[in-house]
């Protein structure tokens, strides 16, 4: 396997494991789907799979992963904003 193929495949496996870990922990009630760690694992994994999709010219998969990653990142920012708003309200 060429170095490029090895790198691309490594990205895919790390991304896949990240998403599967998030899913496994969520289905075992260790994490909730709106917790920061879950959202980070999903964003990280789908971001890596998006890179892999780009590298291998899988455009439909790239769109899916970009949307999935974007949704997780937006949810993370929403959590951060909600926490900041609650902290500001509590200190008033």
What is the per-residue pLDDT for 82?
76
> In which residue are the tokens 């902290």 written?
87
Prediction pTM value: 0.84
What is the per-residue pLDDT for 3?
72
What is the per-residue pLDDT for 87?
66
What is the per-residue pLDDT for 80?
80
What is the per-residue pLDDT for 92?
61
**Domain of 45, in residue numbers:** 3-91
Q: Which residues of the chain have pLDDT under 70?
A: 84-92
Q: Residue 47's closest CA among 68, 30, 78, 75?
A: 68
Q: How far apart are CA 43 and CA 1, in angstroms?
A: 28
- Cα 64 to chain centroid distance, Å, stands at 12
What is the per-residue pLDDT for 86?
66
| Contact indicator for 18, 55 with CB cutoff of 8 Å | no
Q: How far apart are CA 10 and CA 72, in angstroms?
A: 22
Q: Work out how many domains the chain is built from and give that number.
A: 1
């Amino acid at each position: 396997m060429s170095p490029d193929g090895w790198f691309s495949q490594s990205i895919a496996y790390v991304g896949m494991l990240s998403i599967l870990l998030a899913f496994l922990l969520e289905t075992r009630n260790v994490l909730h789907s709106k917790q920061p760690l879950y959202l980070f694992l999903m964003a990280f994994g789908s971001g890596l799979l998006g890179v892999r999709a780009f590298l291998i010219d899988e455009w439909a998969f790239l769109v899916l992963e970009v949307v999935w990653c974007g949704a997780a990142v937006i949810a993370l920012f929403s959590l951060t904003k909600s926490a900041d708003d609650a902290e500001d309200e509590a200190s008033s």
